[in-house]
Structure 1
Amino acid sequence: MGADRAASGSNGEAGKQLRSMEGGERLLPKGFPRLKNDTFLRAARGEETEHTPVWCMRQAGRYLPEFRETRASQDFFATCRSPKLCCELTLQPLRRFPLDAAIIFSDILVVPQALGMEVVMVPGKGPTFTEPLKEVEDLLKLRQKWTLMSYMIEGGGSTTMAKAKSWLYRHPEASHRLLRLLADVIIDYLVGQVAAGAQALQLFESHAGHLGPELFQDFALPYIRDIAQAVKSKLKEEALPLVPMIIFAKDAHYALRDLAHAGYEVVGLDWTIRPQEARAQIGKDVTLQGNLDPCALYAPKEKIGELVKKMLESFGTQRYIANLGHGLYPDMNPEHVGAFVEAVHAHSRHINKHS
C-alpha cells in the first residue's frame, strides 16, 4: 500500500535518492565530479567491497539539531521545493558521519501534490490531506495519473489503515485504477531522479504488514514489479544509467521470495526477521539491506557495537548493505548514530581481513 520514495546514491530523505560517496565513474552523470566512495553502489550490484557500506533511513532528519534549526523557519513542503535547502539538509549527516550514501531530502507526498491534492504538515500530527479521497468519484478530481494510496484515502497517518483497506474490498477496480495511476507517476518520478543525478533508487511499501499475503499479491506486488520493469526500460530508452534499485516492504516476511524476483538488485529488511531466514528465502543473487532494530540505538555505545557485530556475522559482509530496519527516530542521540556507522565499518573490515 505504499508505492513511492526513491533512493539514490547522493543526497536526501523521503522521496528518496541515495548517491554513493566513493570512487568509480560507471554511473556518473555528465558534469558530476568523480566519486570518492562507491562502496554502496558496488555492494548493491553484488561486487566485492572492502567494508560493508552503511546508510540510515531518515538520516536527514529531526534527530540532528542542525536539521531542526534549518527547518524551523520554513514550511515543510516549501523546503522540499528549495534546491538550496534540500542540498543543505542532505549534506548535514555527511558532515557528522562517514556514511556511504546520502539521501536526497524530499517527501513522497510531493506526488499526490503533483496530482492536485492539498497536503499540509500539521504540527504534532504530521502530513494531512485537507480533502482525502472518500468515494470512487473523487478519483476524477486527480489531474492524471500505496503508502501513497493509504495516505490519500486515510487523509493522514493511521494505525489500522481501515479506510484504505476498505477500498480494496469494496472498490477493487477503483483501487487498481488509483494504484495504476500512482505507479505511472512514480515511474516518471524515479526516471526523472536518475536524469537529475540519482545513482540508486529505493521504493518503499511501508504498509505491507497491513495487507497480508492475499492483498499484497493482488494490490501491491504487481505494481512493485511494474515499477522496476518500467523504470529500467525507460532508463534504457533515454540512454540514462541503469542504476541499482532497492525494494523495502516493511513487515512483508510472507513475500520475500516474490520480492527477490520482482526486478530489484537489493531487498531491504525490517528488524523482525532473522538474517539467515531472509537469505534462505531470497537466495544469493540479491543484495540484502537492513535490519538493526532502530530502538537498538538507544542502547549504550558498547552494546550498539555488539549488536552490529552480531548482525554482520549473520548477514556476512558481502552482498550486504547495513541499515536500520526502519528510520531513525527524532529523539535519538546523534552520537549513537555515529557509533552505529563506525561499528559497521570497523567490524566489517575486521571480518574481511580475517576471512
Structure 2
Amino acid sequence: MTTTNFPPLKNDLLLRAARGEQTEHAPVWVMRQAGRYLPEFRKVRESHEFFEVCRTPALATEITLQPIRRYSGLLDASIIFSDILVVPQAMGMEVIMNPGPHFPDPLNTPEDVKRLKGVVDIDKELGYVFQAITQTRTELNGEVPLIGFCGAPWTLFAYMIEGGGSKTFQKAKTWLFKYPEESKALLLRIADVCVDFLVGQVKAGAQLLQVFDSWAGELSPYDFDQFSFPTLKHISINVRRRLAEENLPATPMTVFAKGANYALASIAANGGYDVVGLDWCIDPAEARRIVGDNVALQGNMDPGVLYGGRDAIEAAVKRMSQGFRAGKGGWIANLGHGIAPGVDPKDMRWFLECVHKYSAL
C-alpha cells in the first residue's frame, strides 16, 4: 500500500505544529501512551509476550489504537506500538523483556561486533513493524496522524554493550574511552540501520518520525558532540535524502535527546530536525530562547505530576502552556518522558483536557 491509498487525514494539528505553525491549540500526545497504565493493554499482555506483540501486526495495531479509542477527540497523534530494541534484534542480537530489557549475550569487546549481521535486510528483519504501520494507518481512518520511531545510535549502543539498563554505564563508557574509533564505527553502523528503518516506516505510512536518545544525558557535552550528535545528524540528513530520492513524502522529524539540554542550541541549529523534544528539566520559555523560532518544540510536563491529582495537573499544564505560548514557533504538548505504568487513565484524560483548555490561542 502507498500513502495515496490511505484515508484522508482529518486532524493535521501535529503536522502543522511540526512545520513551525502556531495552531489553535497545541496538538497533544504522550510518549508510551499505548502502554501499561491502560487496563486494555494489560489484558492483551496477559496472553502475549512483549516482543510477540511487537512482531504480530494485528496485536501491535490493536494496542496502538487503544488510547486513540479511549481518548478520542483529545489525542492528536498515535505512535506505533513497538520498541527501540527491535533494531539490535534486526542486527542479530537476542533481547528478552523480563520485565525490563535483557541481552543474554551483549557486546563485551570490539571483537564481538563480528557477531552482528554484516548486512541487515530491513524488510525481512523488521517487516512486521511496516505491516503494523500500514494496518494501523488504515484503521485510524484519518482520525490522527501516525508516528514512527527508532532509538538513537548512542542509546542502542549502550543497551547492546551493557546488556540492559544501567545506572553507571560502565561498560558502554569503557568502549567510548578505550576504543573510541571502534565505538564510532559501531555507532555509524547502527545509524545506517536506523536510516533504513525510518525510511521503511514512511513507505509503510508513518507521517512523522521520532528518534529517541534516551541516554543522551549520560554523556558530557564534549562526549555528546563526539559520539551521539554526529549520528543523530547522520540520520536526519540521510533519511531526508532517501525520502527525496525515492519520491516519498517529506516527513517531519523529531529528536528527543533526554537530559542533553546543554546541547539544545546545536541540536536545533545543526541537527536537521523539525521538532526538538524537551525533558521536564528546562523551562519552556528558556528552551525557546535558546533554540529560536525556526524549530518546533515538544514537551515537557514532568510525568510524575500525573500522580499529583487534578489540581496539580491543571496548574502544571497552565504553567507549561504559558511558557511555550510566550514565544513563537510550533509547540507539540507532551510529557518530558514516557507516561508511567501506575498512572490512573482518568488523570491522563484530565491532562489532555487541560492541554486543550490552556494551550488554546
By the TM > 0.5 criterion, same fold?
yes
Q: 2:3 aligns with which of 19, 29, 35?
A: 29
Q: Which residue of 2 aligns with 1:21?
A: none
Letter in 1 for 2:273: Y
Secondary structure of 1:30's aligned partner: helix
Q: Which residue of 1 aligns with 2:116?
A: 142
Q: Does 1:319 align with 2:330?
A: yes
List aligned pairs for 1:99-248, cutoff 5 A: 99-123=75-99, 126-144=100-118, 146-248=154-256
Letter in 2 for 1:57: M
Letter in 1 for 2:275: V
Letter in 2 for 1:67: F
1:135: Cα distance to partner?
Answer: 1.0
Secondary structure of 2:66's aligned partner: helix
Secondary structure of 1:307's aligned partner: helix
Q: 2:358 aligns with which of 308, 328, 347?
A: 347
Q: Does 1:269 align with 2:298?
A: no
1:95: Cα distance to partner?
Answer: 1.1
Letter in 2 for 1:166: T
Secondary structure of 1:202's aligned partner: strand
Q: Which residue of 1 aligns with 2:303?
A: 294
Q: 1:62 aligns with which of 10, 17, 36?
A: 36
1:174: Cα distance to partner?
Answer: 0.9
Is the Cα–Cα contact under 8 Å of residues 251 and 270 in structure 1 kept in the other structure?
yes
Is the Cα–Cα contact under 8 Å of residues 22 and 331 in structure 2 kept in the other structure?
no
Q: Which residue of 2 aligns with 1:304?
A: 313
1:149: Cα distance to partner?
Answer: 0.4
Letter in 2 for 1:116: G
1:115: Cα distance to partner?
Answer: 0.9
Secondary structure of 1:220's aligned partner: helix
How far apart are the structure 2 equivalents of 1:48 and 1:122? 42
Q: Does 1:47 align with 2:21?
A: yes
Is the Cα–Cα contact under 8 Å of residues 144 and 181 in structure 1 kept in the other structure?
no
Q: Which residue of 2 aligns with 1:9?
A: none
How far apart are the structure 2 equivalents of 1:218 and 1:111? 22
Letter in 2 for 1:324: L
Letter in 2 for 1:95: R
Q: Percent identity at matched positions?
A: 56
1:48: Cα distance to partner?
Answer: 3.4
Letter in 1 for 2:263: A
List runs of 5+ in structure 1 lacking aligned partners: 1-27
Is the Cα–Cα contact under 8 Å of residues 18 and 275 in structure 2 kept in the other structure?
yes
Q: 1:90 aligns with which of 50, 64, 67?
A: 64
Secondary structure of 2:298's aligned partner: strand
Per-residue CA deviations over 1:179-228 (Å, capped at 9, x if unaligned) read 01100000000000000000000011111111010110000011111100
Is the Cα–Cα contact under 8 Å of residues 276 and 315 in structure 1 kept in the other structure?
yes
Secondary structure of 2:176's aligned partner: helix
How far apart are the structure 1 equivalents of 2:338 and 2:213? 13
Q: Does 1:250 align with 2:258?
A: yes
How far apart are the structure 2 equivalents of 1:142 and 1:274? 41
Is the Cα–Cα contact under 8 Å of residues 183 and 223 in structure 1 kept in the other structure?
yes
Secondary structure of 2:96's aligned partner: strand
Larger displacement relative to structure 2 (311-320 or 332-341): 311-320
Q: TM-score, normalised by structure 1?
A: 0.89
How far apart are the structure 1 equivalents of 2:65 and 2:217? 32
How far apart are the structure 2 equivalents of 1:167 and 1:106? 28
Secondary structure of 2:31's aligned partner: coil
List runs of 5+ in structure 2 lacking aligned partners: 120-153
Q: Does 1:335 align with 2:317?
A: no
Is the Cα–Cα contact under 8 Å of residues 45 and 265 in structure 1 kept in the other structure?
yes
Secondary structure of 2:212's aligned partner: strand
Q: Root-mean-square deviation (CA), in Å?
A: 1.1
1:94: Cα distance to partner?
Answer: 0.8
Aligned length: 321
Secondary structure of 1:92's aligned partner: helix
Q: TM-score, normalised by structure 2?
A: 0.87
Letter in 2 for 1:278: A
How far apart are the structure 1 equivalents of 2:32 and 2:104? 25
1:144: Cα distance to partner?
Answer: 2.7
1:108: Cα distance to partner?
Answer: 1.0
How far apart are the structure 2 equivalents of 1:61 and 1:301? 21
1:162: Cα distance to partner?
Answer: 1.2
